[in-house]
Structure 1
Amino acid sequence: MMRPALTAATLALIAGSAAAQDGGYPYTDENCGVTTIYEAAPERAVTLSNNATELMLALGLEEHMAGTSYMAGMEISPAYAAAYNEIPTLSPLVATTEQLVDAEADFVYAGYPDGFSESRHTRDQLHDLGMKTRLNTEGCNLGRFGFDELYDEIRSMAGIFGVPERGEALIAEMQEGVAEVEAAVAGREPVPVFIYNGGEDAPRAVLGNAMLSHVVERAGGRNILGEENNRYGSTSWEQLVAEAPEYIVVFYSGTESGQVVDDPSNNIGQARVDFLMQQPIIAGVPAVAEGNFITISSVIGQPGPSSLTALEELARAFHPEAFD
């Protein structure tokens, strides 16, 4: 039976693993061109995205967390809700430099590049304030990113916090779930999929270097723009007609134009479905004609432990007969 998130037994194992250990310090973290040496585990970590928050909670690191941010209007995955609710939420958007200083953060972890920028705070600026940093490596855009790269991300975070055994337990749990899905869809013809990321004049798309594209392919789909060597970009309505996707995955977050949106599932996710259904130019595209839309929120669509949830949901949608 598929799991909506990591099993309670594994979460208990991870959370209950011995925290008192040397962790192999000093630990050197090579991350997106930044080298950081840790003499001990950070004690006041702050996360700048929902997938970063979930990854830390999946490793049982809540006692090392001084705050979270950028959940916007989304909800944390149920497996992590209890721990999440015990941690201060610094901001519904990316925590500001001032909020990080007030939280006395000693480590700042971003799940995607929005967390570190000239308009907010660069990694160098936070380093100057005494905060170590890490960016999920999908955000470096070094090429294709999939489960193997996500497992490396987990190992790096487990290494920083001196809990390598928790990292391996989490990876083993995820590998088991991935293997179950792959066994179910094995031998089935991949269905062509367009991953829509908003846009009206020109549709924005999730391209080949994003984790979500990899998840679509592991779920028995084929991203029609999966050969594009980038994470995000734009296409044309005419290309959708030519490619004739059988499913459209509608990807959405909790913000529009930098502002938090109430009930993003309906006001962004479903609103995007409604918009696509109203476009005459793509009315004959199989996915539109047959109403084959799957909404995927950023909570499970960005690389993190809930990537397994996205994999299971997409596989069941693409190949329902495989799960009868």
Structure 2
Amino acid sequence: MTFCHVRQRLLAVVSMTCAALALTGPSIAADFPYVDDNCGITNVYEKAPEHAVTLSNNATELMLALGLQDHMAGTSYMAALKISPQYSEAYNAVPVLSPLVATTEQLVDANADFVYAGYPDGFSESRHSRAQLQDLGMKTHLNPEGCNLGQFGFDGLFDEIRSIAGIFGVPERGDALIGAISERLDAIDAKLAGADAVPVFIFNGGESAPNAVLGNAMLSDVVKRAGGQNIFGDVDNRFGQVSWEQVADRNPEAIVVFYSGTAGGKVVTDPDGALGQARIDILKATPTIAGTDAIENGRFIPISSVLGQPGPSSIDAVERLARAFHPDVFAD
């Protein structure tokens, strides 16, 4: 996405064009072995994996953003959500093993030598733990937001980009991607200079009591970078249940409606409507928060997990939210 202002649009186009050239150009030979210390598990790579499988949409997008589709044996857990448009061509060249998390059998059939989850539910005892897959000869990696005990934001995302680029021996592609994202963040910072932060509730479902995105999640940093302030950003956790009374007391001016593509472990055919819009309907029908500024002014911004989970599309989420929080700043 680009800004309406001509100068900003040209900056974004030049930035992404340079990044695209860097990602598709010849790779600089990396130093192997590469040691990956990740969430308590260490793997040593003598060469780049050749049959990688991703277990979440943000892991898939990061692989594609680094131009690694030729190293991929499959993707999974996109459900009925759509890949970000800039990755659709590369995504269509990679087999989709499952709309849910790929099973152990599917990973074995794909001859997976690297299994990458961008979210903790990719690895679990009910499906397959990292230890189980490691015992089957598959190296594994988890986006560190999922095992991080503190706040996670763009600095953590940049470290993750460097890790995946290092595993696959393309550090220069990682640097180019980080540079492109950083330029876009800088452009947003410049536009928002002097703007007051907008109080924001990040709603993650629930009727009798709401589930909130709290201070340690990547999405909380995304909201901050977009000129907002998570009203539960002071809570030292990633996700958790709060009360409608707390939401009312903190009086958000805007509500980010966060949703994925599944419910109850099943694929939702129309996640934008059945989950995104349904959550907006819950908010509108809850009397306790009827007097908040966000409800009275109808300021709801849906963000699916494609943009809301930590990955290369996090910058797209920042740009979308910045325009929603500060429309006057971005008006032409």
In the TM superposition, 1:43-62 aligns within 5 A as: 43-62=50-69
SS in 1 for 2:165: helix
Does the alignment pair 1:157 with 2:164? yes
How far did residue 11 of structure 1 move?
Answer: 5.1
Question: Cα gap change, 1:6/1:131 in structure 2, threshold over 3 Å: closer, same or farther?
Answer: farther
Query: Once the two structures are superposed, what CA deviation does each residue of 1:120-164 show, in whole Å capped at 9, x if it has no partner?
Result: 111110011110010001001231111111000000000000000
Does the alignment pair 1:167 with 2:174? yes
Give the equivalent residue in structure 2 for 1:219.
226
Query: Once the two structures are superposed, what CA deviation does each residue of 1:11-35 show, in whole Å capped at 9, x if it has no partner?
Result: 531442324x541000001111111
SS in 1 for 2:329: helix
CA contact (8 A) 1:51 1:303 kept: yes
Find the aligned partners of 2:220 and 2:198 in 1 and give their Cα distance.
13
Which stretches of structure 1, 4 residues or more, deviate above 3 A after TM superposition?
A: 1-8
Give the equivalent residue in structure 1 for 2:20.
12
TM-score (norm 2): 0.95
Find the aligned partners of 1:315 and 1:253 in 2 and give their Cα distance.
21
Among residues 107, 113, 118, which one is paired with 1:106 in the alignment?
A: 113
In the TM superposition, 1:106-185 aligns within 5 A as: 106-185=113-192
In the TM superposition, 1:1-324 aligns within 5 A as: 1-2=2-3, 9-10=17-18, 12-19=20-27, 21-324=28-331
When the two chains are superposed, the root-mean-square deviation of aligned CA atoms in Å is 1.5
SS in 1 for 2:219: helix
CA contact (8 A) 2:253 2:294 kept: yes
CA contact (8 A) 2:29 2:170 kept: no
Aligned partner letter, 2:92: N
CA contact (8 A) 1:69 1:92 kept: yes
Find the aligned partners of 1:207 and 1:152 in 2 and give their Cα distance.
22
CA contact (8 A) 2:203 2:211 kept: yes
How far did residue 6 of structure 1 move?
Answer: 10
Query: Once the two structures are superposed, what CA deviation does each residue of 1:288-318 show, in whole Å capped at 9, x if it has no partner?
Result: 1110100000001000000000000000011
Aligned partner letter, 1:241: A
CA contact (8 A) 1:10 1:170 kept: no
SS in 2 for 1:28: strand
Find the aligned partners of 1:57 and 1:142 in 2 and give their Cα distance.
28
Identity of aligned residues (%): 65
How far did residue 10 of structure 1 move?
Answer: 3.9
Q: Which runs of 5+ in 1 are unaligned?
A: none
Q: What is the aligned length?
A: 323
How far did residue 5 of structure 1 move?
Answer: 10
SS in 2 for 1:312: helix
CA contact (8 A) 1:50 1:299 kept: yes
Q: Which runs of 5+ in 2 are unaligned?
A: 4-8
Find the aligned partners of 2:288 and 2:214 in 1 and give their Cα distance.
22
Find the aligned partners of 1:214 and 1:5 in 2 and give their Cα distance.
25
Find the aligned partners of 1:42 and 1:28 in 2 and give their Cα distance.
13
Aligned partner letter, 1:141: N
Query: Once the two structures are superposed, what CA deviation does each residue of 1:163-195 show, in whole Å capped at 9, x if it has no partner?
Result: 000000000000000011111111111111000
CA contact (8 A) 2:152 2:217 kept: yes
TM-score (norm 1): 0.97
